[in-house]
Structure 1
Amino acid sequence: MNSSDTRPYVRRLVDDELDELVAGLPAIALQGAKGVGKTETARRRADHLVRFDVDQERAAFAARPFDLAPDGTTLLDEWQLHPTSWDQVRRAVDAGAPPGSFLLTGSSAPPGARIHSGAGRIDTIRMRPLTLSERGIVEPAISLEDLMSRSRPPIDARTNIGLEEYVDEIFASGFPGIRRLPARLREARLDGYVTHTIEREFVEQGTTVRRPASLAAWLRGYAAATATTASYSRILDAATAGLPDKPSRDATTTYRDVLLRTFVLDPVEAWIPVYNPLKRLAQAPKHMLADPALATRLLGLDRDDVISGRDDVRIDGRGGSMLGPLFEHLVTQSVQTYAQRIGARVAHLRIQDGRHEVDIIVERGRRVVALEVKLATTVDDRDVRHLRWLREQLGDDLADAAVITTGQIAYRRPDGIAVIPAALLGA
């Protein structure tokens, strides 16, 4: 199969994870939103393929006694369309399937599917859209792993990437099959992605949407809340302003739950450290979609208007352009993949009274890397005040701290805080 595939393929960070895990684990499930490249990545290491979104293959698989005995790796693509396949793989693992026997790709199981959790049998890996480093715009020079090492590595690098290139990346998306299309076709594909989510994903999840227009409005409200911790009631109010017949709380809770299960929403949870040296931490998630390009289409944003600040659609009360939140989304999306590669988790920090907040907390054990995202080319003392405060709170547990910018020069400030252009950061 692999030898006949002549399409260009960009190696992903998740490929490194798969190489490690396939060597020792019998069954691995790749999870993530549609279009992130799960099937293509899995196909490259599969010897046998069953496509459950092809009626004939699904029917043939269901009709014969389950037997996945052939040598090599079997890929079950879109497994959730035949949910019993999950339990069948689990039983094959229990029977002694060797490492690298099964790959499963698709969304989460539909509600009500009677499947085992897979714990201890089927290991899962999250796959997100392409990171900045995977897009090939520039070779990263500073690694998150080095920042996590507590060694405070020297920071000295340059890039030609600037604000306009980052805006291009926001609008292009990190979906491999979309980003290289001409602008008009790309917009049509992204619009189709949203339409498919509203008209098909909910059906596949066993949920009836009685008023698709209300769901579309709620999604627009969520997009307007990108990179904020706005309450869900505020999102609903912003989405349905002026409408006499708003969806109920139960309906919007259903919207959120289905969109989370299908990875269309990718919120960043609040940081609550196990050892909890900080008091009065807020616990609301920071809202983000699967990709910032989806927010641009939901909000009908124009590239030039975003750059010039003529797109006042934010709902966080701060006003101004969506460019800051969208840039933060772009950076966070990449950092989530970098963190996953080094075995760390990502959260955000906010004190309940709002006096201190840090955009991205990367945590591994008791080591923390704190990142502030700034839509700026220069950094002054005011930009690092929250990072300095956190260093006072955590002491040696803060492995490193940095401001991620749209600038072109990476360096370390006299106070020890790094300044890193977004394109130069990698895993």
Structure 2
Amino acid sequence: MRTVGLIVEYNPFHNGHLYHLQQSRKITQAGAVVAVMSGHFLQRGEPALLDKWARTRMALAGGCDLVIELPVAYATQAAEWFAYGAVALLEATGVVDSFCFGTENGELDPLLRAADIVAEEPPAFKALLKQQLQTGISYPSAYSSAISSYLAELGHASDAAFPFALPNHTLGLHYLLARSRLQAKMEPFTIAREKAAYNQETVTDSQIASATAIRKLLLEQKSLEETRPYMPQSSLDVLQEEWSAGRCPISWEPFTNALLHAIVTRSPQELSALHEITEGLEYRIRNALPSLPSRSFDDLLGALKTKRYTRTKLQRSLLAILLGHRKEDFSSDKLASGVEYIRVLGFSEKGKLLLRRMRKSAKLPVLLSAARPTKPYRYLELDTQASSVYMLGVPGQTSASSMFRDFTEKPMFAEEL
């Protein structure tokens, strides 16, 4: 059975995701779908709208056959390590033949050629990247610009003109770089995004809207009905259930007091030991607090934002403070070798067959529970800690036991939902 891998957040699962899943099956001729999904905190440094178990239900109902969790150590990273962790997990299953990701224009070849050329980051490319960073622009912009300049120097004029800076092209390139560096055997595919751009906050189509636009409707208008045209009924059913129970929608705001506590109880030196806190950002954060108009997350973010520090970079930095993520756990060496297990969140009947195959094919231990790992895993420990913190920000989760749900929740079986 051919199997395609998808790298997702499903925050929440909407019609665009359904289209991506169906088209991925079609173009790869796959009979099953494996999704690597971020847990409770996401790539842009923000909490998920719904917890990972609700989003797993959406994924299974939408057609995924096996959902595995991308550890928080990778899920909250910039493109390079986010992609590396996700591709490493798909490859480690031993059952995934291909993977498919979305791009703005549906072109794969320029990304493949660029990945082949810069996978080992030649000295000339590193020098161009350093020059770009010295201009004060963000790392993603500097990386994209350095690639274009390097390809132009090599005489690849047409590839140099490719829009690497577009968000999905950036992620796609890093998926392919990870594939090359891991020497993964999976065949890559891409499809063009349809009708809604990545991060597009406005709705411009009758059926397709970005996850960003859907979250905005839910968080600002407090209306489920407004999202109905843009989500499958199965996702709406899960959303309605979680909404009625007071477990969503979740944003940064419920975590602000805990974040401020984590900031004011640490010295600048202690803050600087945390992941993503660089270039004196610890002082900027501490100095911003006395002049904040309120204790809201948006006010804190507004006081910190500069041309160099994008919203995403700052959110990742503040998330590292909230979760207590120390630099020592996020070194390049640790991240390159740190994918140590495959954590299963849910599966279908086909997924059950994949799990049976994985008993022989998987390159890593397959965990069906966080309660009984085969050995201590540092990144699993960070995952369970992140889940506990997340539950503290969920209004509808008032019992202390909810903080330890990672240890009691079994993988979901689609046929029993």
Q: TM-score, normalised by structure 2?
A: 0.29
Say which structure is richer in strand. Answer: 1
Larger radius of gyration: 1
Larger relative contact order (C-alpha < 8 A, sep ≥ 6)? 2
Q: TM-score, normalised by structure 1?
A: 0.28
